[in-house]
Amino acid sequence: MADYHFVFKDPQGPSTEWDDIQRKLGNLPPKPPVEKPAPWQPAPDPGKSKQWIDSKSEEELQELQDDLDLDEDSRFLEEYRKKRLLELSEVSKSAKFGSLIHITGSDFIREVSRAPPDVWVVVHLYKDGVPECQLLGQCLEELAKKYPATKFVKIISTDCINNYPDFNLPTVLVYNNTNVKATLVGLHHFGGKRCTPEDVAFTLCQVGPVLGEGSSSEAIQQKVRRDFIEKIISRHEQDKSDSEDD
């Protein structure tokens, strides 16, 4: 006599021959359908485009040199790759500094006087405990981040010039190609005790292309005006919101 309770496994899971007979007679529900995974398909190729090139780092662009075919579209992409690589290289060259660097008297000749001819150097003579020096230092720190091709350094005044009087602080020296291009004594050159990074940038741009060839006093002025208008609008909207809440 056959053993109808023998358990076996099929794709739907464990079962018995008796269960299969009962399903045929309608006494048990049918087995659930077998879930088959979708057939494997390769990921679609997004295609090579300018956007695809723009998404690559400088190192990745170097590796792509032999990866592009020689059809008309790929020749265009190869030219664009070279152009993009040159742009990234120029950015990498110009981003040399990016912070307000503290130097000592023994560093001055190396870091300032002998800086490369294409580098503008802004020197902040300061002393701790002088509020005006702290304010100007904060502004210069912001500009150093925004204009990394310009070298910003700070040095304690008496480390730079023996017996330099505190009433001359803060003082800013601007150097280029071994020459002093400007000596700015006192915070009034930068707008006084309410000076902003934009005020400092505007003054520096009047000396020359201190912040780079792309910067100008006119561009700084436009930004200051735009920021001022935005501040007035924001303040007006805040006052309006406060009055509505009351």
Contact 126, 154 (CB under 8 A): yes
Q: Stretch 195-204: mean pLDDT, rounded?
A: 90
Cα 133 to Cα 150: distance, rounded to the nearest angstrom: 20
State how beta strands 171-176 and 120-126 pair. antiparallel
Given a cut of 70, is residue 91 above it in pLDDT?
no
User: At what angle are helices 197-207 and 131-146 packed, to 10 degrees?
Assistant: 70
* pTM attached to this predicted model: 0.56
* DSSP code at position 89: H
Q: Identify which has the larger pLDDT, 123 or 226.
A: 123
Q: Identify which has the larger pLDDT, 100 or 1.
A: 100
Cα 201 to Cα 195: distance, rounded to the nearest angstrom: 10
Name, in order, each residue with C-beta under 8 angstroms of 170's C-beta and a sequence gap of 6 or more: 124, 125, 126, 130, 132, 133, 136, 137, 186, 187
